[in-house]
Structures are given as structure tokens and as C-alpha cells.
Amino acid sequence: MDIEGSIKVILDTQTFNSGFQKREFVITTKEQYPQDIKFELIKDRIDIIDAYKAGDVIKVHFNIRGNEYNGKYFVNLQAWRIEQPSPAATEGPSMDDVGLPDEPPTSDEVVEDDLPF
């Protein structure tokens, strides 16, 4: 899965007693109702966020991970790749790309209808 947004915050690396390391960051999506979504980077991927800073627009590729611990359920979004989105993807389609006719047909023109009803 992937999602685009601007980086809101990048947190410091956390190291646990077992030696396991993770780093979390939050992006804000660009929707009608923007969402702040937290991702985590683990193990050898914790450094891939170093090339970015707060405010940068990125595309995050991630996996959804769920587990149970002591009767409680947890969901984590584990990022595995971060990249800058392509310029065409951030702009969205223009009206020229939609494929609408330039002008509606006049009453003199015959419009063929291939619908079966």
C-alpha cells in the first residue's frame, strides 16, 4: 500500500533492551479532511527518513501489521520505502485529461448510441 502527504513530525529513534530499534514519523494527508497518520520504521530501515524534513511531501509505501498481546490488539503501519511523489501524481487530472468532447453535439448531428436499450 502507499499514501502521500506532507511530513508533520519525525521522531527520534527508540532503542529497546532487546536491541530492537524503531523510528516513528507522522504525515498529514492532502484530502478534504486531512488526516495525521503515524508510521514506523524498524531495524535497518530507520535511516530512510533522514533524507527528508518536516514539510516535505512524500509517498510512503507501507505494510499493515496487527498483533495481539495480553488480550489487547495493536495495529502498526510499517513503512518500507519513502520517495518523492511524481509531479503528475500530485497535481491530479486536468479537465483536458478527462476526455470530454469540446462541444456538445448539435441537433443536426447524429449521435450513435451503442447502448443495448
Average pLDDT value over all residues in the chain: 84
Determine phi and psi for 43, rounding to 5 degrees: 50, -120
Lowest mean pLDDT among 3-7, 67-71, 73-77, 110-114: 110-114
Domain 2-92 belongs in CATH node 2.40.50.140: yes
Over residues 68-74, mean pLDDT: 96
Residue with cell 535497518: 44
For residues 29 and 108, the model is more confident at: 29
Q: Residue 20: CB partners within 8 Å, gap ≥ 6?
A: 42, 43
Listed by start position, the domains of the chain span 2-92
Over residues 53-72, mean pLDDT: 96
**Cell triple for 61:** 509505501
pLDDT at 32 over 60: yes
Residue with cell 524534513: 53
